[in-house]
A = this chain, B = another copy of it.
């Protein structure tokens, strides 16, 4: 195919997470075959999102309101903040409905390989926020990966100078996880963190 807008759109879409050249082509054809019912409403929605969605100046969440609906919600606890790497992690935690406090999006994880240092993350504004007072607990909800644990230790070192209590998520056997199917790392972690019943 020559370089038409169709081909450019397929190439662009195939570089997005979760799509390859074939699935991008299938999606574009689907949209082109249903211009009025699908392509145009999708364009409208994307335009709305592009125009209206801004990062929340308080927590870093993405929302059409600023501050975001979570920071505005008066029913949420103000004295506890959950630190997550990305906005997607807020959404994942919100789906569980277990947590009713504040959030703080770091904007990534420290990574020697990817050259991401403390100055690339919003660590300063996190420290500032906690030093302002009123926060009793900081939950570091970071993944159990090399980068996640590096960031956890780095943050713990800095934040232990603040009055807030620090905590992290429990690691162990996931719900529904059979030992036979789990990796050794998870089993070891769960074993070391075993608790009396």
Contact = CB atoms under 8 A, between A and B. Distances in A.
B12 A48 contact: no
Nearest to A94: B1
A64 B1 contact: no
A27 interface: yes
A141 interface: no
A158 B62 CA distance: 58
A6 B62 CA distance: 9
A56 to B, nearest CB: 12
A63 B2 CA distance: 10
A82 to B, nearest CB: 17
Given A33-B87, A43-B46, A64 B17 contact: no
A69 interface: yes
A5 B53 contact: yes
A56 B18 CA distance: 31
A136 interface: no
Nearest to A26: B17
Given A5-B52, A17-B27, A42 B32 contact: no
Contact of A16 (B30, B52, B86): B30
